[in-house]
Structure 1
Amino acid sequence: MHAFFRAAVAHAKRNLRNGTFLQEVPVYFNITNFRKLNTSYGIARGDECLRAVAHILREHFPGRLIGRLAADNFAMLAGSSDVTTRVSAACRAFADYIQNSGIELKAGIRFYDTSENSAAIFQYGFNQAKLACNTVKSDANHCWAAYTEEMGQRDAIRHYIREHFDEALQKGFLKVYYQPVIRTLTGKICGVEALSRWESPAHGRLSPADFIPVLEETHLIHKLDAYVIDRVCHHLRQRIDDGRPSLPVSLNLSRLDFTLANPRHSWTPASLRIPPTRDVNVTSSTATSQPPATTATPHS
């Protein structure tokens, strides 16, 4: 892998000296669900598939620098003028070979413009091509994508979330807000839904659409949901102690909570510090794959 990248940078430096720098672009390939292929058909079948991909790439990109990075990933320097046509043809050739719609060859391409004329950019160009490839791995209608600055920004946010989540919990950057639930027949408030928002000192308010998928992917979501439950119960306890009325509160939980945190035992009326006559309803659709009893958990 390191040998390929060293060769790619050296190649880019030669192109820069020759004035042909923009004529080649980094391309990153991935075989989707490759692990499933190995599991279902054996390692030998997987090795055969890797050899087939190498052959397809050499056939559609003759004379180009091509390397297998690791596992199911390949990279190359391809001619920029017809790269999308050749990538599409290579992906179709792989589909004809594998005859399995669940296993596909996907690609990401990092195009450059005239302002980007340093060989050093190749040190991260393949990473950016990989980001582009990741955006189409689950897309049945496209086999390649070109890197955009927006992809880079989203990836930076994802890294920020992973690195600063514990700090956000400790310093109170994660806030709980309450959205009214209105009964349509009367137009009156009949409850509230607890929603989490991340007030980042570096990025401002982060959307749940940004941080919740990352926390689920990294199996940290149960920490967020436990934090929200704690804050909700603290607010309810304050209202009860002050003699103020309170409304039913709906919470959004991830299905991962039921495997990572065992909420049936963790979230009891005693631990939540509110009377058992108070209802805390689990309304998230992610819990619907669990047995019916879990959709009523926790009760308070």
Structure 2
Amino acid sequence: MTNFKLYNANHGISAGDALLRQLTKCLQHYFPNALMAHLSADNFAVLAPRKDWEKKLVAIEKEFQTLLDDHSVTSKAGITLYEKLSAKSRQNPRHSFDTAKIAAGSIKQDASRVYAYYTEDMGRQLLDEAYVLRNFETALQ
């Protein structure tokens, strides 16, 4: 979710917890046979077959917005396709969660998008940004 900390600050932790429970119900409704986990804070993982993901994610966001009186909070989904991961990455499930989070983060400021698929370019961009930040001070000297 975007701006969830702000939602908690404005509405209280108990309201934020209730919102998380409602989001969980939405996920369970649209992905009834999927393996799900609440990873941390406002991060969830859903392992599901690739049937109608996009439609379901858009429907979840619409339903989510009906629960809110604060439209600065939105749901964003990052999708990692297992078959596009390297063999090494497939051995570590945490990598799938990390790449999905990167994909969701890539659209955090884009109000027109509910989901994004992880691409290798996203990973390269993060590495490039980290390199610049690590070497910024050296470049100034």
TM over 0.5: yes
Of 103, 110, 132 in structure 1, the residue corresponding to residue 103 of structure 2 is 132
Runs of 4+ residues over 4 Å off in structure 1:
114-118
User: Tell me, what secondary structure is at the counterpart of 1:75?
Assistant: strand
Of 79, 97, 100 in structure 2, the residue corresponding to residue 109 of structure 1 is 79
Deviation at 1:156, TM superposition (A): 0.7
Of 139, 159, 167 in structure 1, the residue corresponding to residue 130 of structure 2 is 159
Instruction: Please name the residue that 1:78 is paired with.
Output: 48
Of 89, 92, 97 in structure 1, the residue corresponding to residue 62 of structure 2 is 92
Conserved 8 A contact 2:7-2:70: no
Hey, what's the Cα distance between the residues in 2 that align with 1:75 and 1:51?
Answer: 14
* 1:73–1:114 CA distance, 2 compared to 1 (3 A): closer
- Confirm whether residue 39 of structure 1 aligns to residue 9 of structure 2: yes
Larger radius of gyration: 1
User: Tell me, what secondary structure is at the counterpart of 1:74?
Assistant: strand
**Percent of residue pairs bearing the same amino acid type:** 34
- Confirm whether residue 142 of structure 1 aligns to residue 120 of structure 2: no
Deviation at 1:147, TM superposition (A): 0.9
Hey, what's the Cα distance between the residues in 1 that align with 2:111 and 2:69?
Answer: 14
Higher RCO (CA < 8 A, seq sep 6+): 2
Hey, what's the Cα distance between the residues in 1 that align with 2:117 and 2:140?
Answer: 36
Which residue identity lines up with residue 64 of structure 1 in the other structure? A
Conserved 8 A contact 2:45-2:97: yes
Flag the structure with higher helix content. 2
Conserved 8 A contact 2:3-2:72: yes
* 1:72–1:117 CA distance, 2 compared to 1 (3 A): same
Superposition TM-score, scaled by structure 2 size? 0.87
* 1:58–1:115 CA distance, 2 compared to 1 (3 A): closer
* 1:169–1:145 CA distance, 2 compared to 1 (3 A): same
Hey, what's the Cα distance between the residues in 2 that align with 1:152 and 1:116?
Answer: 13
Superposition TM-score, scaled by structure 1 size? 0.43
Which residue identity lines up with residue 111 of structure 2 in the other structure? A
- RMSD of aligned residue pairs (Cα, Å): 2.0
